[in-house]
A and B are shown apart, each in its own frame.
Chain A
Amino acid sequence: MEDKQIIEQLWERNENALSAVSLKYGKFCKAIAANIVGSATDAEECVNDVLLAVWNSIPPSKPDNFRAYIGKITRTNAADILKRETARKRGGKDVKMIFEELSELSSDYSVEAIAEQHEILAEINTYLKRLNERRQKVFVLRYWYCCDVAEISAVTGFSEANVYNILKRERKKLLEYLRKRGVMN
C-alpha cells in the first residue's frame, strides 16, 4: 500500500492502516529501535508504541515523508526507552560509543543557542547538506540510525577504517563550523 493511501486510511480512522504500517515499516522501525535499545523485547515494545503514536498523531498530522516521520517517532521512543534502560546499563552495542562520540559536540554552546535548539539543528542540517552524498550517509547512518561501523562500511562502500576517519573528521569540522557560525563559544 502506498504511503498516501495509508495516511488517507488513518485519517478515515480505518484500523487496516495500522496493519499496513506494521507490514510495510515494522521491520524498518524494529531495526532502528534495536540499534538503539539493543534488546529484542524493548525493540518490539517500541514498535508497538510507534504504531500507537502514529494512530494518535494522524490526524491531525499529514506527513509528506511518511518513512522519515515514522522513523523519527521510532527514534524518539527508542531514545526514551534507552534513558530508562541506561540505569540498567543496557542499550545497543554501539550506542555507548555513539554517545561518547557525540559528547564532543555537547559542550560550549552559547546560552542563546541552547534556548533555541532548532537554530543549532538548522546549522547542523546546513553543514550536512554541504557534504557529498556518501559522507552525509555515513553521518546519518551513524548518528541517526545508530548503525555500527561495519554495517556503515558495507552500505556506503567505504572501508571500516575510512568510516572511522570520516566520522572523526566530520565531527571536528562540524564543531569548527558551529563555532564559526557563532552557535558555540
Chain B
Amino acid sequence: MKTEEIFDMLTGIDENLITSAGEDLENYRRSGGKSYSVDEKSVFSWKRASAAIMCAAAVMLGAFFVVKNINRTKIPVDDPSSDYSGLGNFSSNESSGDSSSTESSGSSSSTESSGSSSSTESSGSSSSSSSESLSSSSLESSSSSSVESSSGDNQHGESNQGGTQDISAISSNDPQVGFWVALHANENAVKAGSPFSAEISFGTSARNLERITVTISSEDFEVTKSCPDEYVVDGQKYSNSDFYVAPSSKISPDDLPQHFTISLSPKLKKEKYSGSTNIVITEYLVGGYSTGTVTLYYYGNSNLICFSTVSQKEAESFF
C-alpha cells in the first residue's frame, strides 16, 4: 500500500479523537500560541517586520509596568520554619476537600501580588466529543507572547505511560509559566479508598513563583489527601482545602516536582457510575488560574475506581 493511501485512509480516524485534538489545537492558537493565519512570509514580509516591532514595543511596555508594580507590591513571604515548608510533611496531614472559598481568595491574592487588575479565568476545556476525556485546560491569554515553553517539563514526558491522567495549564498573565498536576495509578485503576499518587510541576521557564495552590474537590467522590490542612501566609488563613507548594519563599523549577496522594471514595455506591474530580491550579506571583477535571469511573461490583480509558473487565484483570 502506498504512503499516500495510508495518509488518505487516516482521514477516517475516529471523529471524537479528531474533535478532541482539534479543540486543544484551536484553544492553543487562540491563546496566542500561533495565529490561524497562514504563513505569508514570502508575500508580506514587511507586515511581519512591523508586527515584530510592535510586539517588541508591547513587551518593553509590559516589562516596564511589571517592574513598576513589583516595586509597589508587598510580596508575602513564606515562613521557612513552617511545618509545611517541606515535602516530608505532606504525608502526615489529611483532610476532606472543600474548595468553596479557595478560588476567590486565590484570585484576589493573585491580583494583589501581580498588581494587575485583570483576572483571567479558564474552565476545563470543553471536550464535547467524549465524556470520558480529561480536559486539559488552557487559559485565555491577554498576552501575545509565545507559549512554547508552557509545556510541562521533561520529567513528566513519559510518566503518563500506564496509569496517568494529568491536567496542564498555562498562566493567564504570563504564558511562559506552564504548570500541571498528574495523577498516577498502577494500571489505570485503584481500589476505592486506595491512594492515587499525584505530582505537581511546572515549566522550566517558570522562575521565582511565590506559591502554587492546588485545590482538589469533587461532587462525586469523597476526597482525602495527604497534604497540609491549612497554611498561614502573612496572617491570612486560607481555607483548609488548599494545598500550598511552598518549600521556600520563592519556588523555582528545582523545587519541583512535589508529590502527594489523594484517596477517593464514591459518594454513591452504584454498580457503575462516572464522577469527576476537579483540580484547580492557581499560581500567585504572576497570577495564573486554571481548572481541570479528571473523569473517573467507579465500578461497584469490584469496588474499583478507574481512569476513564479503562473498562471494568480490564480493571479487574489488574487485581
Q: A residues engaging B (CB < 8 A)?
A: 27-28, 30-31, 34, 39-40, 43-44, 64-65, 67-69, 71-72, 75-76, 79, 83, 98-99, 102-103, 105-107, 109, 114, 117-118, 120-121, 124-125, 128-130, 132-137, 140-141, 143-145, 147, 150-151, 153-159, 161-162, 165
Q: Does B208 interact with chain A (Cβ within 8 Å)?
A: no
Contact B165 A132 (CB under 8 A): yes
Q: Once bound together, how far apart are the Cα atoms of A102 and B19, in whole Å?
A: 22
Per CB-CB distance, the 7 closest pairs between chain A and chain B, nearest first, are A162-B157, A68-B15, A27-B36, A40-B38, A157-B152, A140-B21, A34-B38
Residues of A within 8 A of B316 (CB): none
Distance (whole angstroms) from the CB of A7 to the closest CB of chain B: 15
Contact B25 A145 (CB under 8 A): yes
- B interface residues, tally (CB under 8 Å): 59
Q: Once bound together, how far apart are the Cα atoms of A127 and B21, in whole Å?
A: 16
Residues of A within 8 A of B61 (CB): none
Given contacts A154-B28, A159-B151, is CB(A40)–CB(B34) below 8 Å?
no
Of the listed stretches B6-14, B218-226, B234-242, name the one at the interface; the rest are far from the partner chain: B6-14
Our pick among B2, B12, B19, B40 for the contact of A106 (Cβ within 8 Å) is B2
Contact A144 B36 (CB under 8 A): no
The interface bits of chain B over 16-49 (1 if a CB of A lies within 8 angstroms of the residue's CB, else 0) are 1111111011101100011011111001000000
A151 closest partner in B (C-beta) = B34
Q: Once bound together, how far apart are the Cα atoms of A155 and B136, in whole Å?
A: 9
A125 closest partner in B (C-beta) = B14
Question: From DSSP, what is the main secondary structure of chain A's interface residues?
Answer: helix
Contact B25 A157 (CB under 8 A): no
Distance (whole angstroms) from the CB of A170 to the closest CB of chain B: 11
Our pick among A64, A133, A153 for the contact of B148 (Cβ within 8 Å) is A153
Residues of A within 8 A of B17 (CB): 125, 128-129, 136-137, 140, 144
Our pick among A31, A75, A157 for the contact of B156 (Cβ within 8 Å) is A157
Contact A124 B21 (CB under 8 A): no
Q: Once bound together, how far apart are the Cα atoms of A162 and B265, in whole Å?
A: 34
Contact B157 A158 (CB under 8 A): yes
Contact A161 B14 (CB under 8 A): no
Residues of B within 8 A of A161 (CB): 154, 157
Contact B24 A162 (CB under 8 A): no
A79-B11, A99-B7, A157-B180 given; 12 more Cβ-contact pairs under 8 Å: A28-B22, A40-B39, A43-B38, A67-B19, A68-B19, A68-B22, A79-B7, A121-B12, A155-B24, A156-B151, A157-B152, A165-B158
Q: Once bound together, how far apart are the Cα atoms of A156 and B180, in whole Å?
A: 11
Given contacts A129-B14, A154-B33, is CB(A117)–CB(B9) below 8 Å?
yes
Residues of A within 8 A of B40 (CB): 40
Our pick among A39, A143, A156, A159 for the contact of B10 (Cβ within 8 Å) is A143
Question: What are 22 residue pairs bridging A and B, where the CB atoms are less than 8 Å apart in the complex?
Answer: A31-B36, A68-B19, A68-B22, A102-B6, A106-B1, A106-B3, A124-B13, A125-B13, A133-B136, A133-B165, A135-B160, A141-B21, A143-B13, A144-B21, A153-B151, A155-B21, A155-B28, A157-B151, A157-B152, A157-B166, A161-B157, A162-B154
Distance (whole angstroms) from the CB of A125 to the closest CB of chain B: 5
Contact A147 B9 (CB under 8 A): no
Contact B151 A106 (CB under 8 A): no
Q: Does B147 interact with chain A (Cβ within 8 Å)?
A: yes
Q: Once bound together, how far apart are the Cα atoms of A64 and B150, in whole Å?
A: 34
Our pick among A30, A40, A105, A155 for the contact of B43 (Cβ within 8 Å) is A40
A103 closest partner in B (C-beta) = B3
Distance (whole angstroms) from the CB of A6 to the closest CB of chain B: 15
Given contacts A68-B15, A157-B180, is CB(A30)–CB(B38) below 8 Å?
yes
Residues of A within 8 A of B312 (CB): none
A31 closest partner in B (C-beta) = B36
Contact B164 A132 (CB under 8 A): yes
Contact B4 A83 (CB under 8 A): yes
Contact B11 A102 (CB under 8 A): no
Contact B13 A67 (CB under 8 A): no
Q: Once bound together, how far apart are the Cα atoms of A22 and B9, in whole Å?
A: 26
Contact B134 A133 (CB under 8 A): yes
Q: Does B102 interact with chain A (Cβ within 8 Å)?
A: no
Q: Once bound together, how far apart are the Cα atoms of A134 and B162, in whole Å?
A: 12
B18 closest partner in A (C-beta) = A68
A86 closest partner in B (C-beta) = B4
A142 closest partner in B (C-beta) = B21
Q: Does B309 interact with chain A (Cβ within 8 Å)?
A: yes
Our pick among B8, B36, B151 for the contact of A76 (Cβ within 8 Å) is B8
Contact B11 A132 (CB under 8 A): no
Residues of A within 8 A of B217 (CB): none
Contact B158 A137 (CB under 8 A): no
